[in-house]
Amino acid sequence: MSNFDSYGFPPSISKELHKLGFVKPTPIQAQAIPVALSGRDMMGMAQTGTGKTAAFALPMLIRLMSHPQQTALVLAPTRELAMQIHAFVKQLSGKNINLHSALLIGGASMHNQTRELRQRPRILIATPGRLVDHLRSQPKLLQNAGILVLDEADRMLDMGFLPQLKVILRNLPKVRQTMMFSATFPNAIKNLAAQFLNKPAEVAVGEPSRPVQKIEQAIIETTQKGKNDILLDELNARQGPVLIFTRTKHRTDRLSRYLESYGYNVTRIHGNRTQAQRRNAIEGFRSGEFRILVATDIAARGLDIDGIAHVINYDLPQVPEDYIHRIGRTARNGKAGQALCLLTPEDRGMWKAISRLN
Ligand code: AMP
């Protein structure tokens, strides 16, 4: 695979890539960037941690630089993912390029976002619900959108965002470039692609819905009652940061209190926590202040934290595909990682479904 240097990117972009330490494109980037630069619609099947953000962000920035009238819209299912994309885009667009971007997510002040929109940002990074809120008062917000990116489209459908996506689609220009990324490719995603994309080129890395190779997976069979003891043993036997998934907000709270009572540095995220609490939890986990993060699926989606050594599935997910997303939080960026599942007899059916994907 050739280096980014041979891509002929504008110098300002090359400089920022260099600063980030990106030398060679990842496989999804090598496939997607030339297609995206050609202006074609694209359907990308990419696992977590593959570098898909840069795969769409680089061509998007380059197109915006050469089309000064156009804007771009990036949709993501969760606030955390939107924030991560925003941080990445801001870093890449740096000071030299001067492409202003705005983050439109729930849980943050509508008023501040409206004020930001007055500065006419060229890039909007949004969660679907909040964008629809803004469209109510600013129906022309998307009139110049020449690029649309749907990131983690499967997750957007799982979270019930289809009605909002349809409203957004009605507000977008018909002529535009659309790039859609999804880790899985069920029929619902094919239908969505048929509505949003026009003769898309398909790019894929590895088999769809399969975990990243470097993850070592293990199971321990136990009972509901036995889970806590096993978890303590496993936490003591392992080194490094641990992300633990539970099924519900309540179980997340309860488990993190339990671990706290044993003296662990633990924090937690789930959908009922405020934006500030979620941010503090993630930043505290990222910085090492907390060794353990307990989370529900919704809150942990899209987390990009380097160096998560272990993912422990205290409970199995409700949908088999979420297992792939969960364990994809470790072994990011080419590093190794371990995933452990605590399985109870009631989990048998779900574990079978997961094993079929795996
Ligand atoms: P993503 O799948 O977009 O969340 O990216 C996963 C991680 O890989 C992020 O931490 C990126 O900063 C990093 N990354 C993406 N592309 C490259 C590249 N070409 N070289 C090195 N690191 C990369």
What is the C-alpha to C-alpha distance for residues 294 and 313, in angstroms, rounded to an integer?
10
Residue 112, helix vs strand vs coil: helix
pLDDT grade, residue 76 (50/70/90)?
very high
State mean pLDDT over 221-247. 94
State mean pLDDT over 46-55. 84
Q: What is the CA radius of gyration of the chain?
A: 20
Residue 64, helix vs strand vs coil: helix
What is the C-alpha to C-alpha distance for residues 174 and 238, in angstroms, rounded to an integer?
53
On whether the CB atoms of residues 211 and 327 are closer than 8 A, the answer is yes
- Does the domain at 215-357 match CATH 3.40.50.300? Answer given as yes
Q: What's the pLDDT at 97?
A: 80
pLDDT (tens digit per residue) in 127-155? 999 999 999 999 999 999 999 999 999 88
On whether the CB atoms of residues 121 and 74 are closer than 8 A, the answer is no
Q: Say yes or no: CB of residue 44 within 6 Å of ligand 1.
A: no
Q: Say yes or no: CB of residue 270 within 6 Å of ligand 1.
A: no
Q: What's the pLDDT at 40?
A: 96
Q: Say yes or no: CB of residue 84 within 6 Å of ligand 1.
A: no
Query: Which pTM value belongs to this model?
Result: 0.68
Q: Ligand 1 centre and the CA of 345: distance in Å?
A: 38
Residue closest via CA to ligand 1's atom 20 equals: 22
pLDDT (tens digit per residue) in 307-344? 888 999 999 998 888 888 888 888 776 677 899 999 99
Q: Say yes or no: CB of residue 25 within 6 Å of ligand 1.
A: yes
Higher pLDDT, 189 or 215: 189
Q: What's the pLDDT at 354?
A: 86
Domain 4-204, CATH class in plain words: alpha beta
State mean pLDDT over 287-309. 85
Q: Say yes or no: CB of residue 77 within 6 Å of ligand 1.
A: no
Q: Ligand 1 centre and the CA of 180: distance in Å?
A: 18
Q: Which residues contact 242 (CB under 8 A, 6 or more apart)?
A: 235, 291, 292, 293, 308, 309, 310, 311, 312
Q: Ligand 1 centre and the CA of 20: distance in Å?
A: 9
pLDDT grade, residue 122 (50/70/90)?
very high
Q: Say yes or no: CB of residue 26 within 6 Å of ligand 1.
A: yes
What is the C-alpha to C-alpha distance for residues 198 and 122, in angstroms, rounded to an integer?
23
Number of neighbouring beta carbons within 10 Å of residue 156? 24
pLDDT grade, residue 213 (50/70/90)?
low
Q: Ligand 1 centre and the CA of 151: distance in Å?
A: 15
On whether the CB atoms of residues 53 and 85 are closer than 8 A, the answer is yes
**Secondary structure element (H or E) that encloses residue 350, with its range:** helix 348-357
Pocket test for ligand 1, best of 14, 22, 330 (most atoms within 8 A of CB): 22
Q: Say yes or no: CB of residue 249 within 6 Å of ligand 1.
A: no
Q: What percent of the chain has pLDDT over 90?
A: 65
Residue closest via CA to ligand 1's atom 6 equals: 49
Asked if residue 209 has pLDDT above 70, the reply is no
Higher pLDDT, 178 or 9: 178
In the chain, where does the domain assigned CATH 3.40.50.300 lie?
4-204, 215-357
Residue 220: Cβ-neighbour burial (10 angstroms; 0-12, 13-18, 19+): middle
Higher pLDDT, 50 or 153: 153
Q: What's the pLDDT at 358?
A: 61
Q: Ligand 1 centre and the CA of 202: distance in Å?
A: 20
177-182 and 42-45 beta bridge pairing: parallel
Pocket test for ligand 1, best of 4, 18, 332, 335 (most atoms within 8 A of CB): 332
What Cα–Cα distance (Å) separates residue 22 from each residue in 13, 16, 17, 51, 337?
A: 11, 9, 5, 10, 22
Pocket test for ligand 1, best of 14, 29, 53 (most atoms within 8 A of CB): 53
| Lowest-confidence region among 178-182, 302-306, 321-325 | 302-306
Asked if residue 55 has pLDDT above 50, the reply is yes
